[in-house]
Amino acid sequence: MALSSQTGYALGGDSPSRGTSGGTGLGDPVFPILGNTGYRVTAYLLDFTYHADTKLVDAKATITLRTTERLADFTLDLLGPEVDAVWVGNRKAEYEQQPEKLLVTPMTALPAGARTTVRVHYRADPRKLSFPYNGWVPTDDGFATAPQPDLARTVFPCNDHPSDKADFTIRVTAPDGLTGVATGSLVATNKNGDGTTTRTYCSKHPVATELVQVSVGEYKVVDRAGPNGLPLRDVVPVARAEALEPALSLTPAQMSWAEQRLGSFPFETYGILPANTDAANAFDFTGLETQTLTIYKPNYLLQKESAIGSHMMHELVHSWFGNLVSPATWADLWLNEGHADYYGLLYRYERGWPDSLGLTSMEARMKDVYSRGDQWRRDAGPVAAPTAANLFHSQRYTGGVLVLYALWSLVGEEVFRRIERTFLDRYRHASASTKDYIAIATEASGQDLSGFLNEWLYGTKTPRMPGHPDWAVTPPVATARRAPQVAKDAASATLCCSPHA
């Protein structure tokens, strides 16, 4: 076997007759080794069986893919689980577990354009990998998942990149007395006759791997009606249900507010999963927008509405920016986080809730963020040019809000809303890049905004703010090397959205 000089991963011996290995990464500017160029995934069927006595998980992943080139072998992203067997089609395949990849060699090469299934049997210990490099969230009564940005591969073998969204069917088997839940809608419940129950969930729309939720615990499912009859379901630890109800009951009104600005909710259901753990290192964020079921730390939701409402809006808005339209690459993260913070702040200020700085208006907050602009660009790069080390810096969050505020200031509310709606409609259930957003802004506004937005998103200096010639940027100062600044929800100043934060 040859070794890739860039990655060090073993590759199959490429030859025109035998086929290639596909690329060992999609070349993402932040996480270049994620994914494989040799195929696209159309569907995942995941089976998880949780054993309460050992707290281990037996799992099967059946991946339906279509090749983009002739493949002698190929890789799946996988880190942590122990593989027992692999099949390609109905034939057993050779495999090798590499540091962050599973190399699969089928009995015969796969032709370009072929549709096939890959089935992987494996075992996982949710406690095996150390935080923050573990997409599993261990709890006393089971587990949940937090796969963002690149940790779905610790939960199941996959093409772990948001540009390759797919349909998901997830079966969760757990002892009676525990409840298994997942992304999507419950379509079947089967008593197995051995003291376990299997529940099957299907996603109606494509899901990015980083947005998959699977959880087992002592839960009760609380159903309620959302706007226009949208079914809402919260998955709540039984012992905490009464205490958490005041927070969970806020969702219908929040949903109505978001729909007025962004259009109808784009998925079949929505709800909140307060994972049943108070461990400080269970996950290093407050909420994470796993599709149709946002995971939270339960104690956070016990606070009064003014302390949590803006953050809840932030996570809800991710259903549009991040889930409906996913980032084409991780360099496009500001599209997710900037928009989520933008609407979260609007929601806060409309209600007169002071933010973490004691400010009560978007203008006041943006003036403060503007003053920090050159410092943030020095410390964490331009808004749309992150690295893995500073991906979740505040530059992607309130720095992203500042870009949107500048755009709004330039074009006005009516045109700004047209840009937002056009972008969401054009790329719904797909992925989009910063370049795509700039093109939509130009199209929907009727004026060339490429220079304006490129300067705001990629410039090394903070541009002048339209309508505010008096706003000043504080000159940057040299800073000592330190851990990357943790991105925070602009409204609540609590850790947001990333296990890498």
Q: Would you place residue 199 in the very low, low, confident or very high pLDDT band (cuts 50, 70, 90)?
A: very high
Q: How many CB atoms lie within 10 A of CB 364?
A: 14
Residue 499 has pLDDT above 90, yes or no: no
CB 407 within 8 A of CB 441: yes
Distance CA 12, CA 73 (A): 6
- Using the predicted structure, report yes or no on whether residue 345 has a pLDDT greater than 60: yes
Q: Where are the alpha helices (DSSP H) in 173-304?
A: 241-248, 251-262
Angle at CA of residue 333, ends 332 and 337, nearest 5°: 135
Q: Single out the residue of 164, 211, 207 nearest to residue 26, CA to CA.
A: 164
Joined tokens for residue 56: 């281990």
Taking the C-alpha atoms of residue 102 and residue 277, their distance in angstroms, rounded to an integer, is 31
Model confidence at 487: pLDDT above 80 = no
Question: Span 393-411, mean pLDDT?
Answer: 98
Q: How far apart are CA 33 and CA 193, in angstroms?
A: 44
How does DSSP classify residue 330?
A: G
Q: What is the chain's percent helix, strand, coil content, to nearest 5?
A: 30, 30, 45
From CA 437, how far away is CA 91, in angstroms rounded?
A: 44
Report the b/e string of 112-151 with b at 16+ CB within 10 A.
eeeebebbbebebbbeebebbebbbbbbebbbbbbbbbbb
- The answer to whether residue 61 scores a pLDDT higher than 80 is yes
Mean pLDDT of 496-501: 35
Q: Report the pLDDT value the prediction gives residue 15, as an integer from 0 to 100.
A: 47
Largest CA distance in the chain: 72
3-state SS class at 105: strand
Q: At which residue do the structure tokens 């569907």 appear?
A: 43
Per-residue pLDDT reduced to its tens digit, 114-156 = 999 999 999 999 999 876 789 999 999 999 999 999 999 999 9
* Spatial separation of the C-alpha atoms in residues 466 and 136, rounded to whole Å: 45
On the question of pLDDT at 161 being above 80, the answer is: yes
Report pLDDT digits (tens) over 80-118. 999 999 999 999 999 999 999 999 999 999 999 999 999
Report pLDDT for 16. 46
Phi, psi of 238 (to 5 degrees): -55, -45
Question: In which band, very low, low, confident or very high, does the pLDDT at 12 lie, cut at 50, 70 and 90?
Answer: very low
Residue recorded with tokens 């806060």: 348
Write down the pTM of the prediction.
0.92
Please tell me the distance from the alpha carbon of residue 115 to that of residue 68, in angstroms, as a whole number.
10
